[in-house]
Structures are given as C-alpha cells and as structure tokens.
C-alpha cells in the first residue's frame, strides 16, 4: 500500500485529471485512466472527490479563481483607464494561452457550459470591473461617450473569442497589440488622437 500525504495524493489526482481531461475530454476519460496516471487506486480517487463530476468541477473552479486573483483584481489598482484596459487584454490573453489545457477542459465539458452557475457569477464580476473602468474613462474624458455595459460585454466577448480560438484553431489567434490598438483608437476621443 502506498503511503502518501493526503495533500500529495490530491495534487496527483488533479494533475492527472487536468492532463487527461484536456487530452480526451470528460467522457473520453475514465476514472481508471485517472487512477493509473495518478498512480493511485480507483477506490482512492473517491476518497478525495465524491465523483467524476465533482472532480471536473473542482478543476474549473480552481482556474477561475486563479484568473480572478491574478488578472482581474490587480486591475482595480491601475489609475489610468486606458492603461487598465491594456493590462486587461495583455494579461487575459496571456493567461488563456498559458492555460490551454484547462481551457480545453472547459470546452469539452459540455461545451463551456459545465458549472454554468459558477461561471455566470464569475462573468458578472468581471463585467462589473470592466464597466467601472470604462465609466471612469468616460468621466475623465479619456473615452468617448458610450454605453459602458455594452462595451464591457464587447471586450469580454473578444477575450471569449480568443479563448475559443485557443481551443479550436490556435493559428487564428490575433496579436494582442493589434487588438488593443484598434479598440483604443476607436474608444479614445478624437482630440486625444
């Protein structure tokens, strides 16, 4: 019998699951496969995760939280709205690129639809943060008059598009600078050009 700390075992399972889910999708990955990859018995899996679904959900939640604390939260500290948006794009796209495996898991898990409640909540917070930045930009006359809510949505959709391309067609990934440039030059007031 293999003796390991609980923490160690848990990590092994998570790593194995990330690898396999992203390779073969949720349905294409069996619990036996995960157990084998993690070097743990099938039964052992169930000591750490109630079932397969819960394991998958855990992976998703974990990544969402990381994104929130690494990308979104720091945005609040940036005084310049345009600077904040640049930062948002740079960081978010980079994050997507670096976490390809996990994004694929999101994708293959019911087409990004798994854990939808959690995700919606998350998106709402993201939207709020962006809205606030844009509103600040309008107030400071950096940005032209526009509907902050709509623009926030657009920005998030662009990130979404990027995420989708990461999964489906990496060759179609655009350069962040190009995106930011086009977006900003349109958002900035004529007098600022």
Partner DNA sequence: TATGAATGAGGCTTCATTCAT
Partner DNA sequence: TATGAATGAAGCCTCATTCAT
Burial (CB count within 10 angstroms: exposed 0-12, middle 13-18, buried 19+), residue 89 = buried
CB 134 within 8 A of CB 151: yes
Using CB under 8 A as the binding rule, the residues of this chain from 27 to 46 that contact a copy of itself are 27
142 — phi, psi (to 5°)? -75, -40
Q: Which does 191 bind (CB under 5 to 8 A by kind): DNA, a copy of itself, none?
A: none
6 near DNA, rule: CB under 7 A: yes
106 near a copy of itself, rule: CB under 8 A: yes
119 near a copy of itself, rule: CB under 8 A: yes
Instruction: Name the residue nearer to DNA (CB basis): 81 or 115.
Output: 115
**Which string of x and - marks every residue 28-47 that binds DNA (by CB under 7 A)?**
xxxxx-------xxxxxxxx
| Contacting residue, 39, 51, 181, 192, with a copy of itself by CB under 8 A | 181
CB 144 within 8 A of CB 188: yes
């Amino acid at each position: 019998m293999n003796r390991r700390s609980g923490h160690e075992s848990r990590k092994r399972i998570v790593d194995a699951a990330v690898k396999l889910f992203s390779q073969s999708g949720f349905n294409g990955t069996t619990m036996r496969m995960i157990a084998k990859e993690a070097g743990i018995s099938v039964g052992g899996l169930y000591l750490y995760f109630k079932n397969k679904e819960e394991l998958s959900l855990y992976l998703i939640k974990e990544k969402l939280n990381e994104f929130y604390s690494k990308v979104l939260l720091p945005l609040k500290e940036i005084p310049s709205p345009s600077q904040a948006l640049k930062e948002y794009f740079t960081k978010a796209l980079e994050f997507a690129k670096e976490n390809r495996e996990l994004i694929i898991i999101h994708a293959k898990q019911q087409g990004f639809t798994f854990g939808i409640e959690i995700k919606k909540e998350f998106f709402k917070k993201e939207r709020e943060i962006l809205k606030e930045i844009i509103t600040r930009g309008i107030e400071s006359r950096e940005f032209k008059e526009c509907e902050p809510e709509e623009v926030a949505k657009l920005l998030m959709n662009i990130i979404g598009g990027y995420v989708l391309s990461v999964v489906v067609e990496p060759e179609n990934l655009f350069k962040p600078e190009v995106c930011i440039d086009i977006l900003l030059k349109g958002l900035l007031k004529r007098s600022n050009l």
